[in-house]
């Protein structure tokens, strides 16, 4: 099936000029992205880039084994997995895996790099994405350094909801503790508090967002700046 720009959910593909999209289109392969599927291995050559249509991928920093790892950014339909290739870097110390299954458009790293080198407009679009990716990581660092567990959890739930098709997020307490880099007990306590406040509802392996504005208030400024920067960078693009 031929992918059409107007029908893709990926915001980067939708924002490409018609000429740039037509360059990439025959190189893209629609692929299912399964839960826990690794899209990028730490310190391994990045063979493919994935434009995510739906689903959520986590970018994980790892240091000193499993006891020292945490999510630093997440990727959904706003971006792609493998942005090091945009900068001409073939490997990364970070790992990327799917935390929520979905579908993506896969392209080989060599084909993708060749395409952006041949198009200044595509390169500009991708550089803008790398900038927003870095900004998201900066606010993750701020949240981890200065935010409380409830503030960080509220930010994370909002970011996940932004990249989800529904208000229901398939999550476990253990998974959230890994993503936030905190103890499970802290996550459990914060979730119970959120539920008591009517911000979310929970069931086994599931969190449903009920009050988005309430979660934004709970995040206390840690959510929203990176999201606004993304919109600023990609609004009114003309190629």
Distances (CA, A) of 63 to 1, 60, 103, 171, 224: 42, 10, 29, 24, 29
- CATH T-level fold of 5-143: Jelly Rolls (2.60.120)
pTM: 0.92
- The hierarchical CATH code for the domain 148-221 is 1.10.10.10
Alpha carbon distance 187, 174 (integer Å): 8
Contact, 125 vs 12, CB < 8 A? yes
234, pLDDT greater than 50: yes
Alpha carbon distance 168, 93 (integer Å): 31
pLDDT of the residue at 173: 81
What pLDDT digit, counting tens, does each position of 132-177 carry?
A: 999 999 999 999 999 999 999 999 999 999 999 899 998 888 888 8
**What ranges do the domains of the chain cover?**
5-143, 148-221
pLDDT of the residue at 5: 59
């Amino acid at each position: 099936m031929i992918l059409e720009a107007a029908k893709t959910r990926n915001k980067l593909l939708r924002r490409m000029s018609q000429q740039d999209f037509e360059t990439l289109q025959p190189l893209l392969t629609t692929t299912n992205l399964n839960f826990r599927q690794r899209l990028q291995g730490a310190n391994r050559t990045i063979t493919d880039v994935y434009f995510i249509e739906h689903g959520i991928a986590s970018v994980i920093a790892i240091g000193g084994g499993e006891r020292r790892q945490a999510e630093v950014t997440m990727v959904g339909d706003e971006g792609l997995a493998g942005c090091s290739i945009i900068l001409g870097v073939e490997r990364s110390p970070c790992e990327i895996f799917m935390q929520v299954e979905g579908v993506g458009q896969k392209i080989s790293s060599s084909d993708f790099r060749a395409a952006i080198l041949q198009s200044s407009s595509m390169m500009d679009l991708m550089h803008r994405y790398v900038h927003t990716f870095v900004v998201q990581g900066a606010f993750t660092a701020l949240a981890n350094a200065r935010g409380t567990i409830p503030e960080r959890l509220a930010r994370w739930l909002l970011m996940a909801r932004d990249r989800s098709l529904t208000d229901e997020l398939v999550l476990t307490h253990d998974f959230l503790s890994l993503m936030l880099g905190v103890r499970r007990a802290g996550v459990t306590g914060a979730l119970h508090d959120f539920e008591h406040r009517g911000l979310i509802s929970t069931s086994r392996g599931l969190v449903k967002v009920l009050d988005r504005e309430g979660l934004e208030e709970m995040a206390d400024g840690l959510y929203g700046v990176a999201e606004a920067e993304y919109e600023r960078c990609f609004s009114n693009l003309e190629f």
